[in-house]
């Protein structure tokens, strides 16, 4: 039998089996969906927050990171008197813990196997990727954070169907090449770049304007709102640099306390040089 006929026979047989089993191949994308994809920006590649460039998990910020993160590190949330007192108490506790063992500072309260505070899903010390489709933008990073930002026009769920999660409920829309995001129902524990946690109220809300600046930078203008804890909104501009020396994403989520790849021992960063 000629080779072409053999191939045709095999393909036809496979199609017959699939049809009989109900496993029909997916139809090709519609012209409308292809057109929708063509309108979306290209955020492909591997990215890293500029404040963490050159930083290994558990290590100090690099000189480049300190320079890039200057405005972030000195920013102050407009807390009201009650929440400012909570912040000051947390700052004193953090300073005392560092002073007790300066060589092994306490780890921020976001180990990869716990319910981490929301902000670390936006600016985690990790590599990340963005997946953009007409219906959703998905953020994935190497320390276990996954955000789903729905862009298909759906609203937030009604109040009786919402409960706080570490990523909250995010809906978005495109304004040109800028992604506008609104996030509610967030577990109200924040870790900013003070590296200690502050519990906010259940009215915590995030609004974001995310866009690409040139080929090698993504910018996120993040506004934090909490009418119970703050006297007004608080805005940070976070930037992500393209990582050019990595060829793949590697899962850094390390939950085994016995492994030497976990830098956190008894709640403190610890460099293990030998076993």
pTM over 0.75: yes
- Return the percentage of the chain with pLDDT > 70, whole number: 73
Please report the pLDDT score of residue 86 as a whole number.
Answer: 94
Mean pLDDT of 110-135: 73
- CA neighbours within 13 Å on the CB side: how many for 31? 0
- Cα gap 12→8, rounded to integer Å: 6
Please give the mean pLDDT across all residues of the chain.
81
Mean pLDDT of 12-32: 64
Per the DSSP assignment, residues forming a β-bridge with 265 are 268
Confidence tier at 103 by pLDDT (50, 70, 90) = confident
pLDDT in tens, 197-254: 888 999 999 999 999 999 999 999 999 999 999 999 999 899 999 999 888 887 766 5
Contact 186, 164 (CB under 8 A): yes
Contact 47, 243 (CB under 8 A): yes
Please report the pLDDT score of residue 257 as a whole number.
Answer: 53
CB atoms within 10 A of CB 215: 8
pLDDT in tens, 174-193: 999 999 999 999 888 887 76
Please report the pLDDT score of residue 133 as a whole number.
Answer: 95
- Beta-sheet strands, E only, within the chain: 47-49, 128-132, 136-141, 146-150, 169-175, 178-184, 189-191, 197-199, 205-212, 217-225, 234-242, 264-265, 268-269
- Cα gap 193→108, rounded to integer Å: 10
- Cα gap 121→167, rounded to integer Å: 7
Contact 198, 110 (CB under 8 A): no
Please report the pLDDT score of residue 147 as a whole number.
Answer: 92
Please report the pLDDT score of residue 89 as a whole number.
Answer: 94
Residue 137 pLDDT exceeds 90: yes
- Cα gap 150→181, rounded to integer Å: 9
How many residues does the structure list for the chain?
275
Query: Phi then psi for 247, rounded to 5 degrees?
Result: -105, -10
Among residues 92, 126, 90, the alpha carbon closest in space to that of 109 is found at 90
Residue 24 pLDDT exceeds 70: no
**Nearby residues of 239 by Cβ (< 8 Å), 6 or more positions away:** 49, 50, 68, 213, 217, 218, 219, 220
Among residues 152, 151, 154, 181, the alpha carbon closest in space to that of 168 is found at 181
For the chain, counts of helices (H) and of strands (E): 5, 13
CB atoms within 10 A of CB 4: 8
Please report the pLDDT score of residue 264 as a whole number.
Answer: 63
Contact 239, 217 (CB under 8 A): yes
pLDDT in tens, 46-95: 999 888 887 755 456 788 888 877 777 788 899 999 999 999 998 999 88
Question: What does the domain layout of the chain look like in residue ranges?
Answer: 47-269
């Amino acid at each position: 039998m000629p080779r072409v006929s053999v191939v045709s026979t095999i393909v036809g047989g496979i199609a017959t089996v699939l049809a009989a089993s109900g496993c029909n191949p997916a139809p090709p994308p519609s012209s409308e969906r292809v057109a929708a994809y063509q309108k979306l920006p290209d955020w492909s590649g591997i990215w890293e927050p500029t404040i963490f460039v050159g930083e290994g998990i558990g290590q100090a910020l690099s000189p480049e990171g300190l320079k890039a993160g200057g405005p972030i590190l000195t920013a102050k949330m407009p807390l009201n008197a009650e929440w400012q007192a909570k912040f000051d108490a947390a700052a004193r506790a953090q300073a005392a813990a560092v002073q007790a063992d300066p060589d092994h500072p306490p780890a921020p309260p976001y180990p990869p196997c716990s319910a981490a505070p929301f902000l670390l899903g936006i600016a985690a010390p990790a590599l990340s990727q963005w997946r953009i489709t007409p219906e959703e933008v998905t953020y994935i990073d190497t320390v276990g954070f996954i955000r789903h930002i729905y862009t298909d026009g759906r609203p937030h769920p009604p109040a009786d169907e919402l409960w706080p999660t570490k990523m909250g409920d995010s809906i978005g829309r495109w304004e040109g090449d800028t992604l506008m995001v609104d996030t509610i129902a967030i577990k109200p524990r924040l870790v900013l770049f003070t590296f200690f946690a502050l519990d906010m109220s259940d009215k915590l809300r995030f609004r974001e304007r995310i866009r690409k600046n040139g080929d090698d930078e993504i910018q996120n203008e993040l506004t934090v709102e909490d009418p119970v804890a703050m006297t007004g909104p608080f805005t940070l501009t976070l930037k992500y640099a393209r990582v050019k020396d990595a060829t793949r994403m590697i899962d850094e989520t390390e939950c085994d306390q016995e492994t030497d790849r976990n830098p956190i021992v008894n709640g403190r960063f610890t460099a293990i040089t030998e076993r």
